[in-house]
Amino acid sequence: MEKPNSPSSNFISVFSNLPKPFEGEGDGNHKPLSLWPGMYHSPVTIALWETRSKMFEIMNDPSIDHPPQTNLLTKTPSQSRMTVLYNFSSDFILREQYRDPWNEMRIGKLLEDLDALAGTISVKHCSDDDYTTRPLLLVTASVDRIVLKKPISVDSDLRISGSVIWVGWSSIEIQLDVSQAAEDSVALTANFIFVARDSKTRKAAPVNRISPESEIEKLLFDDAEARSKFRKRKRGQNTREHANGEVNRLEALLSEGRIFCDMPALADRNSILLRDTRLANSLICQPQQRNIHGRIFGGFLMHRAFELAFSTAYAFAGVRPSFLEVDHVDFLKPVDVGDFLRFKSCVLYTELEDPEHPLINVEVEAHVTRPEIRSSEVSNTFYFTFTICSEAKAEKNKVSIRNVVVATEEEARHILERKDAKALQVSKCENN
């Protein structure tokens, strides 16, 4: 019988008392501990990276000077499937590591784990049987969407399962489902897109093919293929097409903002300027936050972005927000150890049509800043959607969520672009 934590296993059971990587193993064949990613990360992330590192060890850790893989394999989704079990019911320390102040799952830490699991699954799919070829470098390209369908508790065991559902020439889509171990219904779904790079040349590299077997696998493949074509169409649009009536839409957004700027005493007290919802924080990326490739991994960025977005929605609403989803995220530029990273957030707009379930849409931009050369580049832009949790509404008889208004045409255009992109994505998901 296969051991649960063997390198080829599809199942990883996680406890808080994980051993340190390679502890007690003194045969000299392992990488030194100084090359292991920092211990800042969650027990799940550490366990997954240890599994991934052992995959490379089985392949005799080929050098980047070895030849690239030329014979592509065809694999099934089941061959890449992995499951992680959080033993919350029996492990108090593990439960405390993931518990938020309201005894629910810390979504930021979960996002970190989802990225680590998706990366390990992509490595599993891309590995070949020829141990003389150099392994591929696999990086997070984007997150298609993460949707929370119901609250996640830390009082019972939690399970994440996922596999590769689609591949392109050098890209891979992984779908992950999160559920309480005692329940069949899915609490959260996530789709990650990874891209393969040659570990020596850093150029795009082909990946193993995929052959769906079951009807569900074929449907998932077709849906992912449609999403890929949609992303390519979006990238191919060099100029933004102006929708009919856009001038009127811009004017409607700007009109109330002018009152705030020109006659603040007459402004609507149920509205607030976008610029007055902003929050920000900064950090220096530390070695403890790197992944096994030595860079700051996408899960850490999503974790920090979520925490700022949650705080922004909390300060804006005046009551505890409830997370609903992460919209499409593109990882535009790599973030390295030592980079000066700045996160800037704002409430981009609100949707108040349903007073019982108002929606708060928060944008978080991650900027890689280099003070020495006075430059700042956007690494990632995250879009989070929150509502008001039912317990918070019960505590306060009336929760009034304000309308967000803009002061500049640039802000107005940005909101319209975001709303149009969101509507298009929702329509695409409904059609699929």
Q: Determine whether 49 is exposed, middle or buried from the number of CB atoms within 10 Å of its CB (0-12, 13-18, 19+).
A: buried
Residues 210 and 62 in one domain: yes
Residue 24 pLDDT class (50, 70, 90 cuts): very low
pLDDT higher than threshold 70 for residue 40: no
Single out the residue of 55, 50, 60 nearest to residue 80, CA to CA: 55
Of 312 and 393, the one with more pLDDT: 312
pLDDT higher than threshold 80 for residue 38: no
Residues 167 and 198 in one domain: yes
Give pLDDT, residue 236.
Answer: 55
Residues 362 and 328 in one domain: yes
Residues 183 and 282 in one domain: no
Q: How far apart are CA 252 and CA 327, in angstroms?
A: 25
Give pLDDT, residue 65.
Answer: 67
Please say which residue of 191, 209, 235 terminates a domain: 235
CATH code, domain carrying 119: 3.10.129.10
Please say which residue of 235, 262, 289 terminates a domain: 235
Residues 263 and 230 in one domain: no
Is residue 2 a part of any domain in this protein?
no
Residues 204 and 229 in one domain: yes
Residue 56 pLDDT class (50, 70, 90 cuts): low
Residues 295 and 399 in one domain: yes
- Contact indicator for 114, 330 with CB cutoff of 8 Å: no
Mean pLDDT of 403-414: 88
Is residue 3 a part of any domain in this protein?
no
Give pLDDT, residue 362.
Answer: 97
Q: What percent of the chain has pLDDT over 90?
A: 40
Give pLDDT, residue 33.
Answer: 42
* 132: containing domain: 11-235
Of 32 and 87, the one with more pLDDT: 87
Please say which residue of 185, 210, 235 terminates a domain: 235
Give pLDDT, residue 331.
Answer: 86
CA-angle at 395, arms to 392 and 401, nearest 5°: 55
Residues 217 and 280 in one domain: no
Query: What confidence tens digit (pLDDT) does each residue in 271-309 have?
Result: 899 999 999 999 998 877 777 667 787 888 999 999 999
pLDDT higher than threshold 70 for residue 28: no
Give pLDDT, residue 432.
Answer: 56
pTM of the model: 0.82
Q: What percent of the chain has pLDDT over 70?
A: 81
Query: What confidence tens digit (pLDDT) does each residue in 223-267 have?
Result: 999 888 877 776 655 444 444 456 677 777 787 778 877 787 777
Is residue 382 a part of any domain in this protein?
yes
Is residue 241 a part of any domain in this protein?
no
Is residue 227 a part of any domain in this protein?
yes
Of 298 and 4, the one with more pLDDT: 298
Q: How high does pLDDT run on average in the chain? A: 82
Hey, CA dihedral for 194, 196, 197, 198, is it positive or negative?
Answer: positive
Residues 79 and 207 in one domain: yes
Residues 173 and 264 in one domain: no
Is residue 74 a part of any domain in this protein?
yes
Is residue 261 a part of any domain in this protein?
yes
Residue 41 pLDDT class (50, 70, 90 cuts): low
Is residue 72 a part of any domain in this protein?
yes
Q: Kindly report the number of other CB atoms within 10 A of residue 354's CB atom.
A: 9
Residues 423 and 380 in one domain: yes
Residues 50 and 137 in one domain: yes
For the ranges 23-37, 200-214, 381-395, the maximum mean pLDDT occurs at: 200-214
As for how many domains the chain has, the answer is 2
Paired strand residues for 160: 84, 178
Q: Determine whether 37 is exposed, middle or buried from the number of CB atoms within 10 Å of its CB (0-12, 13-18, 19+).
A: buried
CA-angle at 184, arms to 179 and 186, nearest 5°: 40
Residue 136 pLDDT class (50, 70, 90 cuts): confident
